[in-house]
């Protein structure tokens, strides 16, 4: 599919740091790209450049093959990590206010239904729960029927149920063919929502592809997890990695490792075997956990 948004060797320098260092990135129309990176990787600056909010020091960004212009912001939607809303306005009044700022407008009733805001329309936005507020901010990001939606860590701080409800909304956006660029610190969120993943570090893209492709490229083993008390007083000639509440054994031959554990008398009732995850990939590529 053609690229709806392209960054070509963009650089952003500040007096004491180069935040983005020659980054090139294509965003295909209709896809969801998950842009991941540890703190300080240059992710936020990259997003701000792609949104048209920050000018790069060098390099260029093109929307549908043309340089960004004054009309670009009319064609994209942004859900910031924190958005200041007018005090004392209800949910309905906020939607009406933001709708008035654009020439191209979505039907407010459809946004209300799509983002499940029916029960809160006459409530002051300051009295919304975290999940309700995020749904309102998503509706505001969609108010101008954007061709690209930028979701900057949209579920940070939400409880698991609210986070999953928000994921359902994003899936609905994708199904309508809207292009999505998502940043997140949640591995499961990136895995479930992203058609493609780009991992950043030190201002560069260091890996790009589907989650499956990236994991297959970097791993050919599995991880066995045992509770800490299972290894007390026992010797095992296998490399163990101690975590907060368990130990991990990395194995390229699970059957053989299971045989060694059984021979050594390890209790296996609480044994967990898992495939490699994006957390593991993050640690290998950047030296940091995904939520760092």
Per-residue pLDDT tens over the stretch 191-216? 999 999 999 999 999 999 999 999 99
Q: What pLDDT, on a 0 to 100 scale, did the predictor assign at position 180?
A: 97
Is residue 289 scored above 70 in pLDDT? no
Spatial CB neighbours of 101, under 8 Å, sequence gap ≥ 6? none
- Which of 70, 71, 50 is CA-nearest to residue 4? 50
Q: What is the mean pLDDT of the chain?
A: 91
Tokens 């009044």 identify what position?
93
Give per-residue burial for 16-37: e unless 16+ CB within 10 Å, then b.
eeebbeebebbbbebbbbbbbb
Per-residue pLDDT tens over the stretch 242-253? 887 888 999 999
| Annotated domain spans of the chain | 3-216, 220-275
Determine the Cα–Cα distance for residues 219 and 208; give it in Å rounded to an integer.
15
Per-residue pLDDT tens over the stretch 126-142? 999 989 999 999 999 99
Which pair of tokens denotes residue 114? 């799509």
Determine the Cα–Cα distance for residues 75 and 63; give it in Å rounded to an integer.
10
Which pair of tokens denotes residue 125? 């936005």
Per-residue pLDDT tens over the stretch 74-118? 999 999 877 778 888 999 999 999 999 999 999 999 999 999 999
Determine the Cα–Cα distance for residues 181 and 197; give it in Å rounded to an integer.
10
Which pair of tokens denotes residue 138? 């998503």
3-216 belongs to CATH 3.40.50.300: yes
Q: What pLDDT, on a 0 to 100 scale, did the predictor assign at position 49?
A: 97
Check: CB of residue 290 under 8 Å from CB of residue 244: no
Determine the Cα–Cα distance for residues 267 and 282; give it in Å rounded to an integer.
31
Q: What pLDDT, on a 0 to 100 scale, did the predictor assign at position 24?
A: 97
């Amino acid at each position: 599919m053609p690229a709806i948004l392209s960054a070509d060797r963009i650089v952003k320098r500040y007096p004491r740091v180069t935040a983005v260092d020659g980054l090139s990135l294509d965003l295909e129309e209709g896809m969801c790209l998950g842009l991941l990176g540890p703190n300080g990787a240059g992710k936020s600056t990259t997003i701000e450049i792609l949104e048209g909010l920050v000018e790069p020091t060098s390099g260029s960004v093109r929307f549908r093959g043309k340089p960004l212009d004054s009309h670009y912001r009319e064609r994209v939607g942004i859900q910031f990590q924190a958005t200041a809303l007018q005090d004392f306005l209800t949910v309905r009044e906020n939607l009406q206010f933001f709708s008035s700022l654009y020439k191209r407008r979505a039907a407010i009733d459809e946004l209300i239904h799509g983002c499940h805001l029916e029960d809160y329309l006459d409530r002051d936005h300051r009295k919304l729960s975290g999940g309700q507020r995020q749904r309102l901010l998503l509706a505001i990001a969609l108010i101008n029927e954007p061709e690209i939606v930028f979701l900057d860590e949209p579920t940070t701080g939400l409880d698991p149920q609210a986070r999953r409800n928000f994921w359902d909304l994003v899936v609905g956006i994708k199904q309508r063919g809207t292009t999505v660029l998502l940043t997140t610190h949640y591995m499961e969120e990136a895995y479930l929502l992203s058609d493609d993943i780009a991992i950043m570090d030190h201002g560069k893209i260091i890996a790009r592809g589907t989650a499956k492709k990236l994991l297959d490229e970097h791993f050919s083993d599995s991880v066995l997890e045992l509770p800490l008390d299972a290894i007390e007083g026992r010797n095992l000639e296998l490399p163990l990695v101690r975590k907060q509440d368990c130990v991990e054994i990395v194995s390229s031959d699970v059957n053989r490792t299971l045989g060694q554990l059984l021979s050594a008398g390890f209790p296996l009732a609480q044994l967990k075997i898992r495939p490699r995850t994006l957390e593991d990939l993050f640690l290998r590529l950047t030296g940091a956990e995904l939520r760092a």
